[in-house]
Amino acid sequence: MSDAREPGTSWPQRLTRWALGGALAFAGVSHLTYGREEFLAQVPPWLPVDADLVVLGSGVVEIGLGLALIVLGQWRVAVGWATALFFLAIFPGNIAQFTEGRDGFGLDTDVARGIRLLFQPVLVAWALWSTGAWRAWRDSARTR
């Protein structure tokens, strides 16, 4: 039994961390298989790297982060920060999809693409809360 004061150990946090991990792993697999073409719409054309390589690489990263969220409970705070940073790193692709009007995943209107943008902060918050990363950072700031 874990200490209830330890960040990221409550059952709602564990459950939502595992759900996020499963969703990331699933998304990562789809980057490498059937959804690959859809993900290309989110790669900004100005990125100086081959778009297909970005899709494959981000898929591998998503699988790794997803599995880490599920199985690396002792590293959950570090994995939470890594996941939140990943969500921030891919945000320019979502912005590019919106500003350039690129269709993908059924996001075929500016409204749909705009709504998608609103979910990125939710994903960042989900990663930080479910792993206890935000609380661990706050607690460490108080003790300095």
Question: Per mean pLDDT, which range of 15-19, 71-75, 79-83 is the poorest?
Answer: 71-75
pLDDT band for position 18 (cuts 50, 70, 90): very high
Which residues does residue 107 pair with via DSSP β-bridges, in sequence order?
104
Q: Per the structure block, which two tokens stand in for 114?
A: 């705009």
Q: Give residue-wise pLDDT tens across range 41-77.
A: 788 888 888 988 999 999 999 999 999 999 988 899 9
Pair 103, 41: CB distance under 8 Å: yes
Our measurement of the distance from residue 20's CA atom to the centroid of its chain's CA atoms, rounded to an integer in Å, reads 8
For position 5, what pLDDT does the model report? 63
For position 2, what pLDDT does the model report? 44
pTM: 0.84
Distances (CA, A) of 40 to 21, 64, 122: 22, 20, 23
